[in-house]
Amino acid sequence: MCPARDGTAVHGYLVLPPGRPARDLPVIVYPHGGPHWRDVWEMGRFREIQLLANRGYAVLQVNFRGSTGYGKSYLTAGFKQNGLAVQNDLTDGVRHLISEGIADPSRIAIIGGSYGGYAVLAGLAFTPELYACGVSLFGVSSFFTFLEALAQWTDMSVHYERIGHPIRDRELLTRTSPLLHVENIRVPILIAQGGRDPIVNPEESDQMVAALREQNVPVEYIYHAEEGHGYFSRHDNWLDLWRAIEAFLAEHLDATASKTAFGG
């Protein structure tokens, strides 16, 4: 647990690489999806977290405000705070690790899927000085296009309450959509997307990749037309993705762990 900048107690997990002291480590920030979900140790991305720790990275999972399991007030504190107080909880967690000497401030990356993918893009756009690189997996790039696509198949009242309304909250959504602040992003990024994703439309990744390339930001795009929402379900696609992530992190964080691709 560490306090956020406004004094809110924020909980999470820190997984350390085996056999290394907790000093000056390369760190992966790994925000969960949802965003109204939470990280619990025995579930979620356990295999990915262990893989990263095995490769020499410390992994920080923050149950930022809006996460479930901490009471109604903590849940609702995240409403309409995407990219704002919610993102600050991630930022403050990183800065806590830096202040404690655990994190090497020059070797910090952020990885996430779905809402976590949005948090990656928001982190790179709104706190560009904090991260050396990022990996956004099927992440929302613009709340305007996301809400428009979502409205085609679901009732929107809950989403307007929790995210914002595209007309009434236009200023908020403009402020918090990473696509509209792409000029701030200056570090390499890997983006992955499934072509049959019904929740985060492929347009979210397509438009972000195009905008990043327009800004001459180094971007790697992994696209599998047959995949839906979530971590790729086909084993060969999953291996393809994580081999690419492993190589990407080794290049941009210069971890001292093994850089040999797994599964091959």
pLDDT, tens digit, 9 for 90 and up, residues 99-131: 999 999 999 999 999 999 999 999 999 999 999
Instruction: Classify residue 262 by its DSSP letter.
Output: T
Write down how long the chain is: 264
Q: What is the CATH number of the domain that holds 111?
A: 3.40.50.1820
pLDDT of residue 254: 77
pLDDT of residue 255: 54
63 pairs with which residues across the strands?
11
Q: Give me the half-sphere count of Cα atoms (radius 13 Å) on the Cβ side of residue 130.
A: 25
pLDDT in tens, 128-143: 999 999 999 999 999 9
Left if phi > 0, otherwise alpha if psi is -120 to 50, otherwise beta: which for 85? alpha
The span from the CA of 61 to the CA of 223, in Å, is: 26
Residues 38/116, Cβ–Cβ less than 8 Å: no
236 CB-near residues (< 8 Å, 6+ apart): none
Residues 128/188, Cβ–Cβ less than 8 Å: no
The span from the CA of 213 to the CA of 217, in Å, is: 6
> Is 260 inside any structural domain?
no
The span from the CA of 151 to the CA of 162, in Å, is: 14
> Which structural domain range is residue 129 located in?
2-253
In 3D space, the residue among 172, 62, 182 whose CA is nearest the CA of residue 115 turns out to be 62
pLDDT of residue 169: 98
Instruction: Classify residue 52 by its DSSP letter.
Output: H
pLDDT of residue 42: 62
Does 114 qualify as catalytic in the annotation? yes
pLDDT of residue 227: 85
pLDDT of residue 40: 85
> Is 53 inside any structural domain?
yes
**Residue in 104, 177, 197, 205 annotated catalytic:** 197
Q: Where are the alpha helices (DSSP H) in the chain?
A: 46-54, 72-76, 85-99, 115-126, 143-150, 157-162, 170-176, 202-214, 235-253
pLDDT of residue 229: 87
pLDDT of residue 177: 98
> Is 215 inside any structural domain?
yes
> Is 262 inside any structural domain?
no
Count of domains observed in the chain: 1
> Is 184 inside any structural domain?
yes
Does 165 qualify as catalytic in the annotation? no
Tokens of 123: 């982190």
Distances (CA, A) of 13 to 50, 92, 117, 246: 13, 14, 19, 21
108 pairs with which residues across the strands?
27
Q: Which parts of the chain have pLDDT scores under 70?
A: 42-45, 255-264
> Is 263 inside any structural domain?
no
Distances (CA, A) of 116 to 83, 140, 167, 247: 11, 9, 25, 21
pLDDT of residue 47: 84
> Is 259 inside any structural domain?
no
In 3D space, the residue among 157, 63, 161, 167 whose CA is nearest the CA of residue 119 turns out to be 63
pLDDT of residue 232: 83
Does 99 qualify as catalytic in the annotation? no
What is the pTM assigned to this prediction?
A: 0.93
**Residue in 67, 114, 142, 177 annotated catalytic:** 114
pLDDT of residue 234: 87
